[in-house]
Amino acid sequence: MTKILVIEDEEHIREIISVMLNAEDFEVIEAEDGRMGVDLAQKNKPDLVLCDVMMPQLDGYGVLNELRQNPSTQTTPFIFLTAKAAKVSIRQGMELGADDYLTKPFTRDELLAAITARLKKQSEIENQSQQKLDVLRDNITLALPVELNTPLNAIIGFAQFLGKNYGILEPDEALSVIESITNSSKRLRKLTRNFLLFAELELATISPQRARALRGEWMMSHTKAAITDFALQEASKVYRQADLHLELEESSVTISQSSLHKILLEILDNAFKFSQSGTPVFVTTKVHGNSFVLSVRDRGIGMTAEQLKELGAYIQFERKLYEQQGLGLGLAIAKRLAELYKGKLIIESIPEQETTVRVTLPINGF
């Protein structure tokens, strides 16, 4: 039976709603104020919440904010009941993650129509989430065992070698083995983190609440200094500082610093991986109207039109030839992160000549 939580401080309104819903075979839970509503929602995990805006103890906005902070109620459909139909009030609720508004007084048909629409949409979201999880699981079944076993086998092998030969190894030999164990451990950690991040980003594409939670604080300024630092850090890891060329225009941009760093990290990782040492890698930023444009161009192996068309998670081009490591998630993660902030990622490539990855993000919010 579908469970609906009704949070309303006016008893007669609460009772009328409960009678209507009981008559339609809904299970109804009642709360007379916002604080009680939050407690009951977290305890009973309703399928949908109907909540008044103006209430003592904790108003409807406070209720919604708390429910959206809790993973167990983060995606629960939420409909406001209010006598206030002002656009400012509606906008405030929608920005916090409300799914719909019903302005008092409303009819039985209006109430049931709103509930039916929200429950149907939630069912569709859950089905889409399951389909995405099924695709992820299928991809992981094929790719993950090999990717996990490679660094794990290296860690185990080097550790066993170190244990058996500890007393006879020269200090520099022991340090070399320890360094190999450390590098394999870092590779395994990056693989795990990338998989978990990609899974979250995939689910966020069909859940506004998940997307909002992932974005968090998003206005960043002083991009020139940040991108310079990020780029130099990544170039130094592969000893390509001399190949890195920066042409950066200062701007603020609608994205968190950590997300911008991750996008640049994954794009640069591919640029350095698929170009020879001694060839240039260009990083440029420009402002076009209300858009911030980040471009990374390398003179490496490039990609064919067919490879660009098929580009996605877990696809790795010319793996044997170029010894590409990881699940192939890098550009897929960068693309999803750009889209999370209402931006886009475009790839242009000429085989055997160059590849340009261009990320466009809004400057003044979305």
Tens-place pLDDT, residues 224-249: 999 999 999 999 999 999 999 999 99
pLDDT at 137: 64
Check residues 192 and 328 and name the one with the higher pLDDT.
Answer: 192
Mean pLDDT of 15-35: 95
Q: Identify the sign of the CA torsion 201, 205, 207, 213.
A: positive
Domain ranges of the chain: 3-106, 129-213, 216-362
What are the counts of helices (DSSP H) followed by strands (DSSP E) for the chain?
Answer: 12, 12
Rg for the chain, CA atoms, rounded: 26
| Chain segment 79-89, per-residue pLDDT in tens | 998 876 555 56
Q: Hey, is 280 helix, strand or coil?
A: coil
Tokens of 142: 């094929």
Question: Is residue 327 over pLDDT 60?
Answer: no
The reply to whether 129-213 and 216-362 are identical in fold is: no
Q: Which residues contact 310 (CB under 8 A, 6 or more apart)?
A: none
pLDDT value of residue 147: 66
Q: Which of 8-12, 21-25, 188-192, 289-293 has the lowest mean pLDDT?
A: 188-192
CATH for 129-213 is: 1.10.287
Q: Are strands 27-31 and 48-52 parallel, antiparallel or unpaired?
A: unpaired
Q: How far apart are the first and last CA of the chain?
A: 38
Q: What is the pLDDT of residue 83?
A: 77
Consecutive H or E run containing 143: helix 108-164
- Residue 238 has a pLDDT of 93
Q: Identify the residue with better confidence: 320 or 173.
A: 173
CA pair distance 93, 223, nearest whole angstrom: 31
Instruction: State the pairing for strand pair 281-288/344-350.
Output: unpaired
Fold assignment, 216-362: Heat Shock Protein 90 (3.30.565)
- Residues of 326-350 as b/e, b for ≥16 C-beta within 10 angstroms? bbbbbbbbbbbbbebbebebebebe
Considering the segment(s) 3-106 as one domain, its CATH architecture is: 3-Layer(aba) Sandwich (3.40)
Instruction: Report the C-alpha gap between 229 and 227 in whole angstroms.
Output: 5
Alpha helices per DSSP H over 238-275: 257-273
pLDDT 10s digits, 303-325: 777 766 656 544 443 333 333 44
Average pLDDT, the chain: 84
Q: Which stretch of 39-53, 148-162, 304-318, 352-366 has the lowest confidence by average pLDDT?
A: 304-318
